[in-house]
Amino acid sequence: WSHRRGSTEVFPYPEIGNEELEEINQLVAPVEKFFNEEVDSAKIDHEAKIPAETLNGLKELGLFGIMIPEEFGGLGLSNTMYARLAEIISLDGSIAVTLAAHQAIGLKGILIAGSEAQKQKYLPKLASGEHIAAFCLTEPGSGSDAASIQTRATLSEDRKHFLLNGTKIWISNGGFADIMTVFARTEVTVDGVKKDKISAFIVERAFGGITSGKPEDKLGIRGSNTCEVSFDNAPVPVENVLGEIGGGFKIAMNILNSGRFSMGSSSAGMIKKLIELTSEYAATRKQFNKSLSEFGMIQEKFAVMALNAFVMESMAYLTAGMMDRPGLADSSVEAAMVKVFSSEGGWICVSEALQVLGGLGYTKNYPYERYVRDCRILPIFEGTNEILRMYIALTGMQYAGKVLTAQIKEMKKGNIGLALGMMGKKLKSSFGVSVDLGLIGKDGVVHPSLAESAKKLEQNVSLFGSTVESLLYRFGKTIVDEQLILKRVADLVINLYAMTAVLSRASRSISIGLRNHDYEVLLANTFCAEAFFKNNYKMTQLQKHSPENNDANMKKIAKALLENRAYICSHPLERTY
Amino acid sequence: MTCPRCLLQLQTLGLLGRSAARCVGLLRTPSSGQPSEPQVLRHFHPSPGSAKSRSVPAEFDRESHKKRNKSLITHDDLFEQVAQEAKTKAMFNKVVDIFTKRDIRRRGHVEFIYAALRKMPEFGVERDLTVYNKLLDVFPKEVFVPRNFIQRMFNHYPRQQECAVQLLEQMENYGIMPNMTTKVLLVQIFGEKSHPMRKYQRIMYWFPKFKHINPFPIPQKLPEDPVDLARFCLNRIANDLDAKVTVYQMACTEVTESGEEVTLPYIVGIQSPSQMELLTKHNPSRPVFVEGPFPLWLRKKCVYYYILRADPPLPNEKVEEPYDPERCLDYPLQLDFDLGRDLGDDESFDVEDLDEGPVFAICMTNQGDEATLNQWISGLQQSNPVLGQVPTLFRLDAGPQELDMLADIKSCHNHRPESELLKEDWLPEEEPEVMGDEELRRSQRMK
């Protein structure tokens, strides 16, 4: 990644034009008003249903077609603006999930891979909200394993229809969606060999043969409708195949990868709202003649919330800006990094906010417990964090592997000249020669007040590069099986990306003189210091035979426990005589 | 658990009580001679000269006949006389009580204890800690405790110490953990620094450490019912939490058309889901083998089991699944460059990792002949249909009960005359013989 993220992509921080900014602010105001006044989140949570008036209000605001081009009736906004609106929509988790399931994944397929005819046919109604979309991929036996998808689409005799048979579970909006993007197995002939490949179909409920199960009773996002959808010989016209027959895998990957970045801004929006509510309480409640906000531990909680919000915002808008920039490579890895960081950061912050309120936060009288329950789904859906860490780490390893293969092979062969060169480099670096990636100094892109943090970032990046090299040397292709190592690598990458985003944003803030830019510098420096320390620890854990690395022990513990499927220690009160 | 001091007080009281009763007894029976009727306590102290010619106490058995012979009786005989009736713990305790109450000086207690230790297995009390403590109680207290440094130096009362050590040794052999009573008794009898006390301390050091040392312990009481025993053994062999035990047939006797009684043996089998998967992946052109019987020892009991296995696939037959880049929706399952694992990190070699071929199922049955095992295979076929197409070969050893049959069937082989062979006494055949070739078992196996 040290190769991938060239300075020009990340610095300067992406900006949007003045007209766009005005447009956004105009859009944002009524949406905010709507959410503050007309959305009763407690009622939605209690009844596990979003009332029809609320849905109608959302449709009128145009929130059902934010990214659909204007020619089809949508708002035609860019990724950045979508992220901005997501900040407000996330005030109510159920509505956010319903809208996301509709547009971020449900109709994204038609947007990305649909033919003109399909777009003309479906997008207008979807944009106005008359039809609601859903995304049907997961099955009882198949989460990430595409090979175990059982739903089948067989060509009918008149070759005009596909007959769809199978069941999909946990489909958001599954109870009332009219248009669904369904993934099923089809038989394709590849080089004369018949194989089963996955294809994507646009299926309308009106085709018949589609039944929805009863809505699942969930812990959080209770207003969102999640249910099982079964297809029983549902006829799908051949024109409704998305992309080509057998090309469903790529479409699925593209859809999933493009919807993730908005989680950063939605978590940030939620945390900002929570900071407001919680600090109100902390400033007014008094114990021992001091208000809660004067106690160190409470202050630490607020600092954590502020840092998390800052970093999430920076990462989300950086990614959105990169995606909006024309002609750039796909930033699915960056989106995944945003998702992982935001989901975990969001969960921690929401928990801390509840903690500040103590017992009051635990009751249903206050919204904190609802936020906690709604946030628990964040690390789970849209790709579980474990899977995304593997994705981040392996994509990077793939790239690094390709670049470094020749070099590592040379090293393994024991070329003396190369070995001497490496030793020389190591000696130089151990004498403290600093790494210069061009971030600071005369032509540097980072503002001088952030020089310390930038130096830390540079050190981390160079050490990371050599760590990756040594990992590839040790494991080669088999690193796919070393999940604990890949987890650390992914965490490192996420931290590095976060540091970059934060530095970039803070530099811009100082340079153009945004309000409270010194506060941003403070946040940036604090975050970078923490992340620097954590990164160094992770990198020492990745060394060979490092004593900080507990992986072997963890695996041993887990193995013995899983063999017995129970905790195997004797009870502490047991006696032998 | 009584504290040592309390026990000490009880003992002294007991002694006093006994001495008091002795006086009473003496007053009551002025004549020193054989009592004619049963009495509660007989306190007759013969002179040392006639130590051996002591008559058996009359309270030996209140209801039944009394023994009055005055001949030389060893302590073994005491037990044997009782043994003719019931061999129970109560009887054993009774004999010990008789001995303790017969003589205040407990003459001959060492021989008595040795005899009792020998007789314990017959009476079935060898694993009973209370009985051992009772036996230890036979030693007179405080007599053998050394009182000065010379006594301490010179192995005070060596025979008694050796006897107690042998008692503790028998306890150790049977794996019985002594308790506080044992310790108190040993302290009262021999003192703190004696050999038996040392042995006790060693037992108490090691036994707690050894108690849970076996990761697969066998319970003392094995199930009686052969089907339950088979279930236990199969779970022990398979050692898989997912494995399922099926009883294909319970033991019963059937009357066939010709009026003969045929005893059908029980057939219990076990198979786990991973074994079922291995069987589905097995190449149908290669045979599977039914092999057995293999012995499994559970303490003193030997049971036999049969397995269904196949040879490991040949190296050139191993098919690796081709990499499917569209398998995982989220991350690449294989990376696309050409680097292998470094030698220092390569942990794939394990000396013990031998491929001996998959074992598909295990079964246990009374009667391990081809017909019974065929029934097992047909039962297995219901959950593993591939067995219908795979040729099954029976490679059975001569089992323990089959030596009689073998003599009839294989008269051409050189066998010893089997007539006097008992069922328990089986001589294993050295080379496994292919009893029968069942080629091409097709679905008509399904009964």
| Residue A6 maps to a domain | no
pLDDT of residue B38: 44
| Total domains, chain A | 4
Q: How confident is the model at residue A441 (pLDDT cuts 50, 70, 90)?
A: low
Instruction: Say what angle helices A248-258 and A332-357 make with each other, to 10 degrees.
Output: 40
| Residue A361 maps to a domain | yes
Q: Is the confidence at residue A555, as pLDDT, over 70? A: yes
Half-sphere exposure (Cβ direction) of A392: Cα atoms closer than 13 Å:
30
| Residue A472 maps to a domain | yes
Complex confidence, ipTM: 0.79
Tell me the chain A residues in contact with residue B183 when contact means C-beta distances shorter than 8 Å. Answer: none
Q: Note whether A264 and A236 are same-domain residues.
A: no
Q: Note whether A81 and A192 are same-domain residues.
A: no
pLDDT of residue B429: 43
The reply to whether residue B337 touches residue A398, judged by beta carbons under 8 angstroms, is yes
What is the spatial distance between Cα A364 and Cα A406, in angstroms, rounded to a whole number? 61
> Which three-class secondary structure state does DSSP give residue A282?
helix
Contact A80, A258 (CB under 8 A): no
3-state secondary structure B360-384: EEEEEECCCCHHHHHHHHHHHHHHC
Strand stretches in B82-166, DSSP E: none
The reply to whether residue B330 touches residue A144, judged by beta carbons under 8 angstroms, is yes
Nearest to A144 by CA among A244, A249, A221: A249
Half-sphere exposure (Cβ direction) of B259: Cα atoms closer than 13 Å:
0
Tell me the chain A residues in contact with residue B324 when contact means C-beta distances shorter than 8 Å. Answer: 147
What is the spatial distance between Cα B88 and Cα B84, in angstroms, rounded to a whole number? 11
CB atoms < 10 A from the CB of A289, how many? 6
| Global confidence as pTM | 0.81
- pLDDT tens per residue across span B28-79: 444 444 444 444 445 455 444 443 434 444 444 433 333 444 445 667 777 8
| Residue A321 maps to a domain | yes
The reply to whether residue A253 touches residue B340, judged by beta carbons under 8 angstroms, is no
- Report angle CA B328, B333, B337 to the nearest 5 degrees: 140
Give CA B17 to chain center in angstroms: 43
Q: Note whether A425 and A477 are same-domain residues.
A: yes
Q: Note whether A65 and A166 are same-domain residues.
A: no
Q: Is the confidence at residue A178, as pLDDT, over 50? A: yes
The reply to whether residue B324 touches residue A394, judged by beta carbons under 8 angstroms, is no
What CATH number does residue A25 fall under?
A: 1.10.540.10
> Which three-class secondary structure state does DSSP give residue A510?
helix
Residue A505's domain comprises: 386-392+411-552
Q: Is the confidence at residue A445, as pLDDT, over 90? A: no
The minimal CB distance from B328 to the residues A146, A388, A576 is found for A146
Contact A138, A168 (CB under 8 A): yes
What CATH number does residue A322 fall under?
A: 1.20.140.10
Which residues numbered 284-343 in B keep a CB inside 8 Å of some CB on A? 324, 326-342
The minimal CB distance from B334 to the residues A408, A409, A480 is found for A480
Contact A567, A528 (CB under 8 A): no
Q: Is the confidence at residue B158, as pLDDT, over 70? A: yes
The pairing of beta strand B261-264 with beta strand B252-255: antiparallel
State how far residue A253 is from chain B, nearest Cα, in angstroms.
6
Tell me the chain B residues in contact with residue A398 when contact means C-beta distances shorter than 8 Å. Answer: 332, 335-337
The minimal CB distance from B211 to the residues A252, A395, A576 is found for A576
The minimal CB distance from B341 to the residues A146, A475, A565 is found for A475
- pLDDT tens per residue across span B166-214: 999 999 999 999 999 999 999 999 999 999 999 999 999 999 999 999 9
Task: For an interface test with B, give the residue of A479, A574, A576 to mutate (most B CBs within 10 A).
Answer: A576
Range in A110-119, A319-328, A458-467, A471-480 the model is least confident about: A319-328
The reply to whether residue A477 touches residue B177, judged by beta carbons under 8 angstroms, is no
Q: Note whether A334 and A361 are same-domain residues.
A: yes
The reply to whether residue B324 touches residue A147, judged by beta carbons under 8 angstroms, is yes
User: By CA distance, what is A544's nearest residue in B?
Assistant: B345
Interface of A with B (CB under 8 A): 137, 144-147, 197-198, 249, 252-253, 256, 383, 387-388, 390-391, 394-395, 397-398, 401-402, 405, 408-409, 412, 472-480, 544, 564-565, 570, 576-577
Half-sphere exposure (Cβ direction) of B388: Cα atoms closer than 13 Å:
11
The reply to whether residue A402 touches residue B341, judged by beta carbons under 8 angstroms, is no
Contact B329, A253 (CB under 8 A): yes
Nearest to A164 by CA among A198, A210, A206, A127: A210
Tell me the chain A residues in contact with residue B337 when contact means C-beta distances shorter than 8 Å. Answer: 398, 401-402, 405, 477
Q: Last residue of some domain: A99, A128, A157?
A: A128
Q: Last residue of some domain: A68, A99, A128?
A: A128
Q: Is the confidence at residue B444, as pLDDT, over 80? A: no
Q: Note whether A289 and A330 are same-domain residues.
A: yes
Tell me the chain B residues in contact with residue A147 when contact means C-beta distances shorter than 8 Å. Answer: 324, 327
What is the spatial distance between Cα B335 and Cα A390, in angstroms, rounded to a whole number? 12
The reply to whether residue A577 touches residue B208, judged by beta carbons under 8 angstroms, is yes
Phi, psi of A158 (to 5 degrees): -80, 5
Q: Note whether A220 and A178 are same-domain residues.
A: yes
Contact A452, A434 (CB under 8 A): no
Which residues numbered 42-81 in B keep a CB inside 8 Å of some CB on A? none
pLDDT of residue B59: 45
Torsion of the alpha carbons at A357, A377, A330 and A173, rounded to the nearest 10: -120
Instruction: Say what angle helices B109-123 and B129-136 make with each other, to 10 degrees.
Output: 170
pLDDT of residue B261: 80
State how far residue A365 is from chain B, nearest Cα, in angstroms.
40
Identity of residue A439: L
What is the spatial distance between Cα B54 and Cα B42, in angstroms, rounded to a whole number? 13
Q: How confident is the model at residue A449 (pLDDT cuts 50, 70, 90)?
A: confident
pLDDT of residue B145: 95
User: By CA distance, what is B345's nearest residue in A?
Assistant: A474
CB atoms < 10 A from the CB of B395, how many? 16
pLDDT of residue A322: 85
Q: Note whether A269 and A325 are same-domain residues.
A: yes
User: By CA distance, what is A147's nearest residue in B?
Assistant: B327
What is the spatial distance between Cα A484 and Cα A542, in angstroms, rounded to a whole number? 10
Tell me the chain B residues in contact with residue A144 when contact means C-beta distances shorter than 8 Å. Answer: 328-330
pLDDT of residue B439: 41
Q: Note whether A108 and A158 are same-domain residues.
A: no
The reply to whether residue A476 touches residue B326, judged by beta carbons under 8 angstroms, is no
Tell me the chain B residues in contact with residue A391 when contact means C-beta distances shorter than 8 Å. Answer: 330-331
User: Does residue B345 belong to the interface with chain A, where contact is any CB pair within 8 Å?
Assistant: yes
pLDDT of residue A85: 92
Query: Could you list the active site residues of A?
Result: 382
What is the spatial distance between Cα B375 and Cα B381, in angstroms, rounded to a whole number? 10
Nearest to A134 by CA among A145, A126, A143: A126
Q: How confident is the model at residue B416 (pLDDT cuts 50, 70, 90)?
A: very low
What is the spatial distance between Cα A79 and Cα B380, in angstroms, rounded to a whole number? 60
What CATH number does residue A171 fall under?
A: 2.40.110.10
Q: Note whether A145 and A106 are same-domain residues.
A: no
| Residue A47 maps to a domain | yes
| Residue A502 maps to a domain | yes
Contact A345, A316 (CB under 8 A): no
Structural tokens at position A171: 């489909």
DSSP state of A139: B
State how far residue B378 is from chain A, nearest Cα, in angstroms.
31
**Which comes out higher in pLDDT, residue A496 or A19?**
A496
Q: Last residue of some domain: A82, A110, A128?
A: A128
Q: Note whether A223 and A301 are same-domain residues.
A: no
Contact A89, A63 (CB under 8 A): yes
Tell me the chain A residues in contact with residue B207 when contact means C-beta distances shorter than 8 Å. Answer: 576-577
> CB-based contacts of A245: which residues, under 8 Å, 6+ apart?
A186, A188, A197, A199
Q: What percent of chain A has pLDDT over 70?
A: 93
- pLDDT tens per residue across span B89-117: 998 998 899 899 888 888 889 999 999 99
Q: In sequence order, what DSSP letters do the residues of B237-258 get, joined into one string? A: HH--TT-EEEEEE--EEEE-TT
pLDDT of residue B258: 79
Cis peptide before A12 (omega within 30 of 0): yes
The minimal CB distance from A144 to the residues B328, B336, B345 is found for B328
The reply to whether residue B329 touches residue A475, judged by beta carbons under 8 angstroms, is no
| Residue A4 maps to a domain | no
Tell me the chain B residues in contact with residue A577 when contact means C-beta distances shorter than 8 Å. Answer: 177, 179, 204, 207-208, 211
User: By CA distance, what is B344's nearest residue in A?
Assistant: A474
pLDDT of residue A25: 87
pLDDT of residue B249: 85
Alpha helices, DSSP H only, in A11-143? 18-38, 41-47, 52-61, 79-89, 93-99, 108-113, 116-128
Task: For an interface test with A, give the residue of B201, B331, B341, B343 to mutate (most A CBs within 10 A).
Answer: B331
Tell me the chain B residues in contact with residue A388 when contact means C-beta distances shorter than 8 Å. Answer: 330
| Residue A7 maps to a domain | no
What is the spatial distance between Cα A319 and Cα A304, in angstroms, rounded to a whole number? 22
What is the spatial distance between Cα A220 and Cα A371, in angstroms, rounded to a whole number? 8
State how far residue B338 is from chain A, nearest Cα, in angstroms.
7
The minimal CB distance from A401 to the residues B329, B331, B339 is found for B339
Q: Note whether A415 and A546 are same-domain residues.
A: yes
Identity of residue B362: I
